[in-house]
Amino acid sequence: MSDLQIELQETGSKGRYVHAVDGEEAVMTFVRIGDKQVIIDHTEVPAHFRGQGVGEALVRRAVEDARNGGWKIRPLCPFAAAQFRRHSEWADVLAH
């Protein structure tokens, strides 16, 4: 679902991707490790958004940003890790 509005919010080395509608937020948080890597550590999608591809869209946005920024992603969050297993086309930004 590429038409979802996802906002990137960063403060120092921490950040989050957010999809918000009517006061409900789906969030994926990360920590930057230097200039070339981020660790996705948590994804939370409220029941209101489930089944709509919101969680996948959060990870997809991080993948797009990683490609554009030239950095890698280490998905420690189980949901994000599962998305990387489903999307082999994202392997170029996966940190090993």
Assigned domain for 96 exists? no
Q: What domain count does the chain have? A: 1
Give the per-residue pLDDT at 1. Answer: 42
Assigned domain for 39 exists? yes
Tokens of 60: 């997809």
Distance CA 52, CA 75 (A): 21
Output the domain CATH number for residue 78: 3.40.630.30
Assigned domain for 2 exists? no
Give the per-residue pLDDT at 2. Answer: 53
In this structure, what are the phi and psi dihedrals at residue 90, rounded to the nearest 5 degrees?
A: -95, 0
Assigned domain for 69 exists? yes
Contacts for 33 with CB less than 8 Å, ≥ 6 apart: 13, 39, 74
| Domain that includes residue 57, residue range | 7-91
**What pTM did the predictor assign?**
0.94
Assigned domain for 74 exists? yes
Assigned domain for 60 exists? yes
Low-confidence ranges of the chain (pLDDT < 70): 1-2
